[in-house]
Amino acid sequence: MASSTTTDPLLLFRQSIRTSSRIIPVSSSESNDEVALSQATHLVFSDSGNRVVLPVDVQSRFMSTEGNLIDLRSIYFAWVNRDITIPEYNAAAEKLNEELGKGGVHKFPFVERLNLIAWLEGAGDDTEFIKPLVGGEKEGGEKVGGGFGEEMKKVEKRGEKAGKGMVDPRLAQIYEGERRMGDRNSVLRGIKPTDFSHIRKLATQFMTRKPTGNSGDARSSTNISNNPSLALNQKPAKRPDPIILLSPSASSLLRMSNAKAFLEGGRYTPPDHSTPPTMIAVSRIIKDMDPNRPIRFILVEGPENFRPEYWNRVVAVFTTGQAWQFKSYKWTNPVELFKHVQGVYLGWRGEQPPESVRAFGHKVLACSVEKWRDPGQPGAEQSRWRDREVVESIWKAVEANMRAKGWKKDAAPTSI
């Protein structure tokens, strides 16, 4: 058994992974019977008869962002759970810590866990989380096996002792010449700094502004006329997708879960309670703008991720009449908002819209759908034929507002 005081835990762990050797948690230094990690006191590293035992609480050279050295048990736990998601990993770590009591495992954050797994798999020798070896010893030192060349020599010696002959020299030569993968630091940095200043001259002709008729753009038009290839390669500007805002209220009949089926398929179904997507897209052909290609509309429930220019793309806002919906809008006053954007209220047939919706003004379209009934009930499906009629009335109002605001086949309004 090798001494645990002369063996670096991280290098031993990495070499065991490289040679596909077993790493077994045991209940004592003399045992070879595998036990659960919560009951283990040591880890046994075995490779073709060589047995190395290390305590699970021995500290490694991996240092967390808090400045603490991570123990071997936490390294082993992170490695065996490398393929599960972060929430699953955190839940497993909490369960193990409950079983261990004191001295639980360290829960690696995402970046730490990613760097550790990559380093153990041999993706690179440099990482900010691993302290260098004392005395300047290299990561591939001979204590635990340095590189594939050294490993093949050890395999050859073991083969001779076992009377099984030599390893194929050609195979050993291939392993010796194998290129090791680098991490981001070694890949992005060469042997010397590179001067890219000459790229500016090449990029000047491609970054020239288009002529707009102003006197200050005379030089730009000259550059374009001198380079006819630029005029041939100019692509038409892409029209941004219009945006429809849905109400985030739980009482809204139209939510992210059922909006696509209603606005595209023309059939109303009640919203479900599953986790909705943050954004969906629906398509609609507007013949006055582009009769050959459908226009994609982006549907979201709130403007939390909006940039200022996104408000010029909003073509409709669905509302339930609750004023808190507009607190984070560009126009927090509903009356002012619906002067710029088409409003839509969707309610049940036979019920009057709330007084607040009627107070918003005529720019809010009030629509009603038949009350939802279980499809298993007699005649339930017969009442749903009116849904498409309601959908068409909504799209008609949205399209009229888009034409009034200046939406075109290849352009969106710069201000609404």
State residue 298's pLDDT score.
92
> Where among 120, 153, 186 does a domain terminate?
153
**pLDDT confidence bin for 2, thresholds 50/70/90:** very low
Is 97 a domain residue? yes
247 and 149 in a common domain: no
Secondary element (H or E) of residue 264:
helix 259-265
383 and 268 in a common domain: yes
148 and 17 in a common domain: yes
β-strand 364-369 against 342-348: which pairing, if any?
parallel
Is 266 a domain residue? yes
Burial class (CB in 10 A: 0-12, 13-18, 19+), 138: exposed
Total residues found in the chain within this entry: 416
Residue 273 lies in domain: 243-405
Enumerate residues 6+ apart whose C-beta is below 8 A from 288. Answer: 399, 403
DSSP string across 106-148: ----HHHHHHHHHHHTTS-S--TTBPPPGGG--TT-TTT--HH
Is 204 a domain residue? no
For residue 373, which amino acid is it?
A: R
**pLDDT confidence bin for 104, thresholds 50/70/90:** confident
Is 180 a domain residue? no
Is 15 a domain residue? yes
Query: Of 197, 182, 403, 179, whose CA–CA distance to 290 is shortest?
Result: 403
Contacts 24+ apart (CB under 8 A), 67-70: 68/106, 70/106, 70/108
Can you tell me the mean pLDDT for 402-416? 86
252 and 115 in a common domain: no
Distance CA 3, CA 235 (A): 69
Is 165 a domain residue? no
Enumerate residues 6+ apart whose C-beta is below 8 A from 258. Answer: 268, 269, 270, 271, 272
Can you tell me the mean pLDDT for 303-318? 91
Residue 7 DSSP code: S
- Tokens found for residue 40: 């283990």
- Tokens found for residue 133: 């070896």
392 and 249 in a common domain: yes
142 and 274 in a common domain: no
Is 65 a domain residue? yes
Is 286 a domain residue? yes
Least confident of 59-68, 99-108, 190-199: 190-199
249 and 135 in a common domain: no
Instruction: List, for residues 111-164, the tens digit of each pLDDT value.
Output: 888 888 888 888 766 678 888 876 544 444 434 334 444 444 544 454 444 444
Radius of gyration of the chain from Cα atoms?
A: 33
Which pTM was predicted? 0.45
> Where among 153, 171, 188 does a domain terminate?
153
**pLDDT confidence bin for 212, thresholds 50/70/90:** low
State residue 215's pLDDT score.
47
Burial class (CB in 10 A: 0-12, 13-18, 19+), 319: buried
> Where among 103, 137, 153 does a domain terminate?
153
**pLDDT confidence bin for 5, thresholds 50/70/90:** very low
Residue 243, beta-bridge partner list: 298, 314
Check pLDDT > 50 for residue 20: yes
- Is-contact 56 35, C-beta < 8 A? no
Q: Give me the residue label for tokens 């352009």.
A: 411
Distance CA 402, CA 228 (A): 36
Report how many domains make up the chain: 2
Taking the alpha carbons at both ends of the chain, their separation in whole angstroms is 78
Q: What is the CATH number of the domain that holds 349?
A: 3.40.50.11990
372 and 257 in a common domain: yes
Residue 160 CA, chain-centre distance (Å), reads 51
Secondary element (H or E) of residue 18:
helix 9-18
Residue 130, beta-bridge partner list: 62
120 and 14 in a common domain: yes
273 and 147 in a common domain: no
